[in-house]
Structure 1
Amino acid sequence: MNGKEPLWTKNFMLICLTNLLLFGSFYFLLPTLPVFIAEVLKGDESKIGLIIGALSLTAVLVRPLAGFLLDAVGRKQVLFFALISFALAMGAYNFVNSLVLLFLLRVLHGIAWGFASTGAGTIAADVVPPARRGEGLGYYGLSNTLAMAVGPSLGFYILNHAGFSSLFIGSFLIAVLAWVSMLGISYQVPTAGRERRGINLESFVEPKVFSVSGIMFFIAVVYGGIISFITLLGKEIGIANSGSYFLIYALVLLFIRPYAGNAFDKKGPLKIMPLGFAAIALSFVLLFLARGILLFALSAIAMGIGFGIVQPTAMAMAINSVAPLRRGAANGTILSAFDLGIAVGSFLLGVLAKKVGLFYMYLSCSFIVIIPFLLFYLTEANKYRLKINNLN
Structure 2
Amino acid sequence: MSPAANTPQPPTRLWSRNFILVSLTNLFQALVFYLLVTAMALYAVNEFQASEVMSGLAVSGFVLGSVLARLFTGQAMEFIGRRRTLLVSMALFLVASALYLTVDSLGMLIAVRVLHGVTFGAASTVVATAVQGMIPPQRRSEGTGWFGTSTTVATALGPLLAFQLTDRFGFDSLFILCTVVSGIGLVSAALVHLPAAPRPEDGSHPGFSLLRILSRPAVPVSLVILLSGLAYSGVLAFLNGYAQEQGISPTSASLFFVVYAVVLVLSRFIVGPAHDRYGDNAVVFPLLACLAVAMAVLALWPAVPGLLIAAVLCAFGFGALLTSLQSVAATVVPPFQIGVATSTYFLMLDVGIGLGPILLGSLLPVTGFSGMYLGLAGFVLMTTGVYWLAHGRRAQHRPGRGHQ
User: For this structure pair, what is the TM-score category when the shorter chain's length is used for normalisation?
Assistant: over 0.9
**Match 1:365 to one of 373, 376, 381:** 376
- Give the Cα separation in 2 of the matches to 1:120 and 1:307: 21
Conservation of the 8 A alpha-carbon contact between 2:40 and 2:58:
no
Give the superposition deviation at 1:143. Answer: 0.2
Residue 229 of structure 1: aligned partner: 238
1:245 counterpart residue number = 256
1:327 to 2:338 alignment = yes
The 3-state SS of whatever aligns with 1:369 is helix
CA distance in 2, matches of 1:386, 1:253: 24
Residue deviations 1:276-330 (CA, integer Å, cap 9, x gap): 0110001110111123111111111111111133211111111112122211101
Cα RMSD for the two superposed structures: 1.8
Give the 3 Å change call, closer, same or farther, for CA 101–3 of structure 1 in structure 2: closer
Q: CA, structure 1 residues 323+73, in 2 after alignment: closer, same or farther (shift >3 Å)?
A: farther
Q: What is the match of residue 261 of structure 1?
A: 272
Partner of 1:130: 137
Aligned-partner residue type, residue 281 of structure 1: A
After superposition, what is the alpha-carbon deviation per residue over 1:163-183, rounded to whole angstroms, capped at 9, x for unaligned? 111110100100110110111
CA contact (8 A) 2:11 2:136 kept: no
Map of 2:159 onto structure 1: 152
Unaligned runs of 5+ residues in structure 2 are: 1-8, 400-404
- Counterpart for residue 169 of structure 1: 176
AA partner of residue 134 (structure 2): V
Q: Aligned partners of 1:51 and 1:33: how far apart in 2? A: 7
Q: How far apart, in 1, do the equivalents of 2:239 and 2:177 lie?
A: 27
Kindly indicate whether the alpha-carbon contact (under 8 Å) linking 1:257 and 1:312 is maintained by their aligned counterparts in 2: no
Which residue does 2:354 correspond to in 1?
343
What SS is found at the alignment partner of 1:322? coil
Which whole-Å CA distance do the structure 1 matches of 2:129 and 2:153 have between them?
20
Task: Determine whether 1:195 maps to 2:204.
Answer: yes
Q: Deviations over 1:32-62 (max 9, x none)?
A: 1122111111112111112211111221122
The whole-number CA distance in structure 2 between the counterparts of 1:387 and 1:11 is 27
Q: CA deviation at 1:114?
A: 0.9
**Alignment equivalent of 2:222, drawn from 213, 216, 233:** 213
How far apart, CA to CA, are the structure 2 residues paired with 1:28 and 1:197? 37
Shift of 1:97: 1.4
CA gap 1:3/1:81 in 2 versus in 1, 3 angstroms: closer
Measured in 1, the distance between the counterparts of 2:229 and 2:357 equals 9
1:346 maps to a residue whose letter is P
Picking from 44, 48, 60, the partner of 2:67 is 60
Whichever residue aligns with residue 86 of structure 1, its letter is: F
Q: CA deviation at 1:199?
A: 3.4
Contact 1:3 1:132 in 2 (8 A): no
Q: Does the 8 Å contact 1:256/1:308 carry over to 2?
A: no
Number of the residue aligned with 2:107: 100
1:185 to 165, 179, 192: 192
Rounded to whole Å, the distance in 1 between the matches of 2:137 and 2:302 is: 45
Once the 2 structures are TM-superposed, how far is the Cα of residue 258 of structure 1 from its aligned partner?
A: 3.5
Indicate how the Cα distance of structure 1 residues 291 and 187 shifts in structure 2: closer, same or farther if over 3 A, else same. Answer: closer
Preserved contact between residue 279 and residue 397 of structure 2 (Cα < 8 Å): no
Does structure 2 conserve the Cα–Cα contact (< 8 Å) formed by 1:218 and 1:371?
no
Aligned to 2:402: none
Instruction: Confirm whether residue 204 of structure 1 aligns to residue 176 of structure 2.
Output: no
- Return the alpha-carbon distance in structure 2 between the equivalents of residues 339 and 188 of structure 1: 26
Indicate if the aligned counterparts of 2:11 and 2:133 stay in contact, CA closer than 8 A. no
Q: CA deviation at 1:386?
A: 8.6
| Structure 2 Cα separation of the partners of residues 220 and 335 of structure 1 | 10
Task: Decide which moves more: 81-90 or 4-13.
Answer: 4-13
Measured in 1, the distance between the counterparts of 2:256 and 2:205 equals: 49
Structure 1 match to 2:6: none
Q: Could you tell me whether the CA contact under 8 Å between 1:216 and 1:311 is conserved in 2?
A: yes
Query: Out of 301, 321, 331, which is 2:312 matched to?
Result: 301
Instruction: Determine the structure 1 residue equivalent to 2:31.
Output: 24
Q: CA deviation at 1:348?
A: 0.6
2:381 maps to 1:374 = no
Structure 1 residue 203, shift from structure 2 partner: 2.7
Pairing partner for 1:9 from 10, 16, 35: 16
- TM-score by length of structure 2 reads 0.92
Give yes or no for contact 1:288–1:362 (8 Å, CA) kept in 2: yes
Q: 1:185-217 deviations in whole A, cap 9, x for unaligned?
A: 114414331524453334321111011111011
In structure 1, the residue matched to 2:5 is none
Q: Which residue in 1 is equivalent to 2:394?
A: 383
Identity of paired residues, percent? 29
1:233-266 deviations in Å (ceiling 9; x for gaps): 0111111122222111111111113421111111
Question: How far, CA to CA, are the matches of 1:245 and 1:387 in structure 2?
Answer: 36
Distance 2:167 2:229 in 1: 31
Task: Report how many residues are paired.
Answer: 387
3-state SS of the aligned residue for 2:218? helix
1:198 & 1:249 partners in 2: Cα distance?
42
Letter in 1 for 2:221: V
Structure 1 unpaired stretches of 5+: none
Conserved in 2, the CA contact under 8 Å of 1:287 and 1:295? yes
Report how far residue 184 of structure 1 moved.
1.2
State the shift of 1:5 in Å.
Answer: 2.4
Alignment partners' CA distance in 2, 1:335 and 1:91: 25
Q: Deviations over 1:3-41 (max 9, x none)?
A: 992100010000011111111111111111122111111
CA deviation after TM superposition for structure 1 residue 341, in Å: 0.7
